[in-house]
Structure 1
Amino acid sequence: MSTSKSTVQVTSLAHLAEILPYLLGHYPDDSITLHTPGPNFLDGVTMTFPLPEDPTEWRATTEIAARQFAAYAHDEGCRPDEDVIVYLCREPRPGQTPWDTAALLAPLTDWLTPVLAEHRTTVLQTIGLVANRWWAYECHIEGCCEGEPLPSPDDPTSITAQMVRLGRTLGPRTRDIVKEFRATADSDFLKELHTAVGHFNARCATSAGRDATLAQTLNQIGSAIGRFRDGDSVLSRALTTQLIVGLRDDAAAEAGIAHAEDDDLPHARRLWAYLARHCAAPFTREAVPILTLYAFVAWRQGDLIAARLALRDAITTDPDYELATGIHLATLDGEDPRTYLASAREDLAHRLTYLQHAVEAASEYRPIADATAARHSEALDAATADYFVQALTERGRVLASHGTIDIIDEALADFRNGRPQLVDEVAARITLGLQDCETRDAALSTCEESELPYERQLWGYLARRCVPPHTDKAPPLLTLLGWVAWRQNDTVTASHALADALGIDPDYRMAKVLLHAIRAECDPARFLAICREEADRFAASRADLDTL
């Protein structure tokens, strides 16, 4: 549509059909493309929408596409009355001829036209592209413009020949681009991934576990990119599954953006594509953050086509995934990805500092899923039945409460004398006894500062034994640990322990009170006075046991 030697000349419907992959930079399999031609035809506003496999969904798709395109064209400064070229692309399915598929596509233009007309936009031509043939649906002459082969590249007037003279190459097909990151099923791997998801959920049951898992994931991302930088093309199954499930954490995915420096772009792209290819159904949602990271790297490389196709898959799977939608809008608005990169690097630096403190603090009390975890769980199971039978009556509850405090005193004496551990049954009995709030209050530290290290050792020791499914028993222990740490002026550990208690039980009142006091920079001496009054009252209540 231009006579300049430096521009393309579209002079026929055949040219109109042939130009699509040059217009987009790729051939869009199974899609609707809407284009408002500019002065050089290739200029102008263009949007592509995936065409669902199920034809019963096509009418809704066309209506959404028409409205979104009209809004986008308006935002890009197009006049409402500008004409639109519609492209309908689909390959024949098994048992279909190209003519069958073209007939299946024909109603789409009837659905698009009235919606676009609402925005004063007219459909100039609708071109169907099927199996390297083209249909012009606005032509109503029987047998005309139906199933013509696309022009031969040998024709000197063809679009392909013109593009060659202009130094332009034919874009790839969508199906070839997406092979880089589309998943393929491996039943054995998917079983391992299922197991890894279960382990991830168990580890992340507490704030401390989430922090430790996030720190591990961030280290693994750097390690994996380093391996790809050194020439590796595969990872162990263990590392692959851990990375996939670790990136479910939004913080891990956002930190992954920081690994998009110029020198690492090819290696990061190969890593994210490799991980995405392992996220076959039923784990397609696990692919969403990975596809988003792949898209960001592709965007950094200037490969907007691959970026948008990956983002399309991510957003189709999870329309509410904010990182993907944010990057998608940024690519449409022409933003500079280096702005995202700089922000991600700054956020990562702050996050790593926080995690270093959090992981160091939590190492004191975080349950460890080692060979002893099952033993700890069994001890708590056994003690639970005995304890609650004893505490069924009021007298039994009071006796159990005083008994717990006595056992705690004995345990502290053991630690004071250098014993490194308690008998499992004793540890379980104390843990269960402290589920009673009155007993917990009586256990709040009132001793001299020289005794605080032994109390802190005991509460951390017991908290580490609250392994799944007994994680819910940790809040009293974490609260007691937080109180002791606060008394020692270690507000970092105190804050993390109390926050982790609330992560397990958001309504645990004592943890809320202490955490608020720490954040308000209150003096723990005020609380210590209250604790000592409570300890005296509890000690005096022993005399009442005989009257119960």
Structure 2
Amino acid sequence: MTNNHASRTPSDRPSDRPSDRSSDQPSAAGTGSATAPQITLRSPAELADALPYMLGLHPTDSLVMVAVHGEGGRFGGRLRVGIPTGPAEWEDTARQVADTLVRGSERRGGKPDGIVVFLCQDPRGDESGQRVMTRLRPLAQRIRLACGALDVPVLEALCLSGGRYWSYSCPDERCCPAEGRPLAAVGTSVLAAAATFAGLQVRGSLKEIEGRLAPLRGAVAEEMETALDRVATALVPKILDGVTREEAGAQTIALARTLMRRMTLAPPVEGGPCADEWDDALLGHDEAAALILGLQDREIRDIAAEWMEHEEAAPALRLWRALARRCVGAYGEHAAAPLTLAGWVSWSAGDEPTARIAFGMALRADAEYRFAQLLHHACNEGIDPEGLRECLREERRRREPRRGRKAAATRPPGRRGRTGARREVRRATGSEQ
């Protein structure tokens, strides 16, 4: 078999892209530090086992590419996109992802010496993992050709499906049999122990993380849409009316503070879906509707973005996730605001994989949502969020002079003009003209 090996450093920044390619384009993340402790991978099995630690999550329905640099095979930039549903898209997808990863790596310091490719998709219906591998083989070949056209070889290409893996690069049946090899149980390998020791976390699967942000369904969704219609009838005229806009904004901020306090006083017993159900039960439909509609005012949303650290961060994240789930039916586009805020709090707290997913979902809800575009780009470029945090702290101090933040939070926000969070993102990321 081929004995391609690559080592990675814990400081490598993963790049996770939204699974809907129509709403966002892929980009590569930065490379790691050559001085950090290294974990060396010497086989397809170890590469397959390492993938969740490289991304910070278990990818599903994903094409993942990782740049490899130098004789030691140091992992650099990485890229994830959803696998296109139709083979007719594979040719364009292969060219685009190859070009994006190679050009992005060149921008950050050097052309890759090779690329490792992962195709991750679970079987559908009565389909077997081996059948998935066979079905995706032409896509793997197109990616290999696209990378070769840029003078960068694919060192290894793996298919992960149904708890097994296959190598598209190894023809030796003795080590890579037709039925594939089983993946190591989660957290049981030597690599998993080393990665955990190095501080690398796996935050669940892509599907699970997206599920915590996806709209509610069924009867509760119908009730929520009715509530949104009802509250919109009363609230939207106030937002559009210049005389009462500040009053409506102050009410939105006060309501958000009230709901955050409610969540702080009622912490969930455990994380995951049960915690989300707990949070959903804490919000009335009309309360959620009023806050969703109020956050469509960008000045109010910019103030909400300031709740990204200390004791405010956890209840704010819970609230933004719950509101994103309430953006149902005809109000799907309204999810861009709470999804972007959820991504911002996650990124600020160091959870980059979840942040990228939230930003990507925000752009699927509204492809022109500028705040999500700026934050998604900055996160994928590996920019330290501390610059933006400091900008938001400064804006908060400017808006709340000589007053306690708790008391000032309900004050009408006023006009921020070009000092809003969008400008602060540009300032913090160096993209302001």
Q: 2:204 aligns with which of 164, 168, 172?
A: 172
- Are the aligned partners of 1:18 and 1:150 in contact in 2 as well (CA < 8 Å)? no
Ranges in structure 1 where 5+ consecutive residues have no aligned partner: 360-548
Alpha-carbon distance between aligned partners in 1 of 2:309 and 2:198, rounded to the nearest angstrom: 33
| Pair 1:257 & 2:305 matched | yes
Instruction: Give the match for residue 228 of structure 2.
Output: 193
1:283 deviates by 2.5
Alpha-carbon distance between aligned partners in 2 of 1:184 and 1:62, rounded to the nearest angstrom: 34
1:67 deviates by 2.5
Alpha-carbon distance between aligned partners in 1 of 2:213 and 2:187, rounded to the nearest angstrom: 36
| Pair 1:133 & 2:168 matched | no
Alpha-carbon distance between aligned partners in 1 of 2:414 and 2:386, rounded to the nearest angstrom: 30
Instruction: Give the match for residue 222 of structure 1.
Output: 257
1:86 deviates by 0.7
- Are the aligned partners of 1:134 and 1:146 in contact in 2 as well (CA < 8 Å)? no
Q: Please give the TM-score of this superposition, normalised by the length of structure 2.
A: 0.72
Alpha-carbon distance between aligned partners in 2 of 1:71 and 1:321, rounded to the nearest angstrom: 26
1:54 deviates by 5.1
Q: Work out which of the two has the higher radius of gyration on C-alpha atoms and give 1 or 2.
A: 1
- Are the aligned partners of 1:85 and 1:124 in contact in 2 as well (CA < 8 Å)? yes
- Relative to 1, partners in 2 of residues 1:57 and 1:44: Cα closer, same or farther, differing over 3 Å? same
| Pair 1:267 & 2:315 matched | yes
- Are the aligned partners of 2:158 and 2:166 in contact in 1 as well (CA < 8 Å)? yes
* AA in 2 matched with 1:19: A
Pairing of 1:51-70 with structure 2 (within 5 A): 51-53=83-85, 56-70=88-102
| Pair 1:302 & 2:350 matched | yes
- Are the aligned partners of 2:249 and 2:412 in contact in 1 as well (CA < 8 Å)? no
1:131 deviates by 1.1
Instruction: Give the match for residue 391 of structure 2.
Output: 343
| Pair 1:331 & 2:363 matched | no
Instruction: Give the match for residue 286 of structure 1.
Output: 334
SS in 2 for 1:222: helix
Alpha-carbon distance between aligned partners in 1 of 2:57 and 2:186, rounded to the nearest angstrom: 21
* AA in 1 matched with 2:165: W
- Relative to 1, partners in 2 of residues 1:107 and 1:300: Cα closer, same or farther, differing over 3 Å? same
1:85 deviates by 0.4
- Are the aligned partners of 2:296 and 2:334 in contact in 1 as well (CA < 8 Å)? yes
Alpha-carbon distance between aligned partners in 2 of 1:312 and 1:269, rounded to the nearest angstrom: 17
SS in 2 for 1:92: coil
| Pair 1:98 & 2:126 matched | no
- Relative to 1, partners in 2 of residues 1:166 and 1:332: Cα closer, same or farther, differing over 3 Å? closer
- Are the aligned partners of 2:69 and 2:75 in contact in 1 as well (CA < 8 Å)? yes
* AA in 2 matched with 1:294: A
Alpha-carbon distance between aligned partners in 2 of 1:155 and 1:297, rounded to the nearest angstrom: 27
- Are the aligned partners of 1:66 and 1:115 in contact in 2 as well (CA < 8 Å)? yes
Alpha-carbon distance between aligned partners in 2 of 1:358 and 1:14, rounded to the nearest angstrom: 58
- Relative to 1, partners in 2 of residues 1:356 and 1:210: Cα closer, same or farther, differing over 3 Å? closer
Name whichever of 248-257 and 332-341 sits farther off: 332-341
Instruction: Give the match for residue 82 of structure 2.
Output: 50
Cα offsets for 1:106-128 (capped at 9, x unmatched): 12223323433343322122111
Q: How many residues align?
A: 357
- Relative to 1, partners in 2 of residues 1:253 and 1:51: Cα closer, same or farther, differing over 3 Å? farther
- Are the aligned partners of 2:163 and 2:183 in contact in 1 as well (CA < 8 Å)? no
- Relative to 1, partners in 2 of residues 1:157 and 1:196: Cα closer, same or farther, differing over 3 Å? closer
SS in 2 for 1:120: coil
Alpha-carbon distance between aligned partners in 2 of 1:13 and 1:104, rounded to the nearest angstrom: 20
SS in 2 for 1:9: strand
Pairing of 1:110-149 with structure 2 (within 5 A): 110-140=141-171, 144-149=176-181
- Relative to 1, partners in 2 of residues 1:217 and 1:119: Cα closer, same or farther, differing over 3 Å? farther
Alpha-carbon distance between aligned partners in 2 of 1:345 and 1:152, rounded to the nearest angstrom: 45
1:275 deviates by 0.9
- Are the aligned partners of 2:115 and 2:153 in contact in 1 as well (CA < 8 Å)? yes
Alpha-carbon distance between aligned partners in 2 of 1:316 and 1:357, rounded to the nearest angstrom: 29
1:176 deviates by 2.4
* AA in 2 matched with 1:72: G
- Are the aligned partners of 1:291 and 1:311 in contact in 2 as well (CA < 8 Å)? yes
Instruction: Give the match for residue 19 of structure 1.
Output: 50
SS in 1 for 2:39: coil
Pairing of 1:237-248 with structure 2 (within 5 A): 237-248=285-296
Name whichever of 155-164 and 109-118 sits farther off: 155-164
Higher relative contact order (CA 8 A, sep 6+): 2
Ranges in structure 2 where 5+ consecutive residues have no aligned partner: 9-36, 268-278, 401-407, 416-433
- Are the aligned partners of 1:134 and 1:145 in contact in 2 as well (CA < 8 Å)? no
1:333 deviates by 3.3
Alpha-carbon distance between aligned partners in 2 of 1:181 and 1:216, rounded to the nearest angstrom: 25
- Relative to 1, partners in 2 of residues 1:259 and 1:151: Cα closer, same or farther, differing over 3 Å? closer
- Relative to 1, partners in 2 of residues 1:79 and 1:196: Cα closer, same or farther, differing over 3 Å? same
Alpha-carbon distance between aligned partners in 1 of 2:186 and 2:339, rounded to the nearest angstrom: 39
SS in 2 for 1:208: coil
Pairing of 1:352-391 with structure 2 (within 5 A): 356=412
SS in 2 for 1:285: helix
Cα offsets for 1:399-456 (capped at 9, x unmatched): xxxxxxxxxxxxxxxxxxxxxxxxxxxxxxxxxxxxxxxxxxxxxxxxxxxxxxxxxx
* AA in 2 matched with 1:252: I
* AA in 1 matched with 2:320: W
* AA in 2 matched with 1:31: S
* AA in 1 matched with 2:51: L
| Pair 1:202 & 2:237 matched | yes
- Are the aligned partners of 1:8 and 1:162 in contact in 2 as well (CA < 8 Å)? yes
Q: Please give the TM-score of this superposition, normalised by the length of structure 1.
A: 0.58
- Are the aligned partners of 2:309 and 2:345 in contact in 1 as well (CA < 8 Å)? no
- Relative to 1, partners in 2 of residues 1:306 and 1:107: Cα closer, same or farther, differing over 3 Å? same
SS in 2 for 1:48: strand
- Are the aligned partners of 1:17 and 1:150 in contact in 2 as well (CA < 8 Å)? no
SS in 1 for 2:157: strand
SS in 1 for 2:126: coil
SS in 2 for 1:207: coil
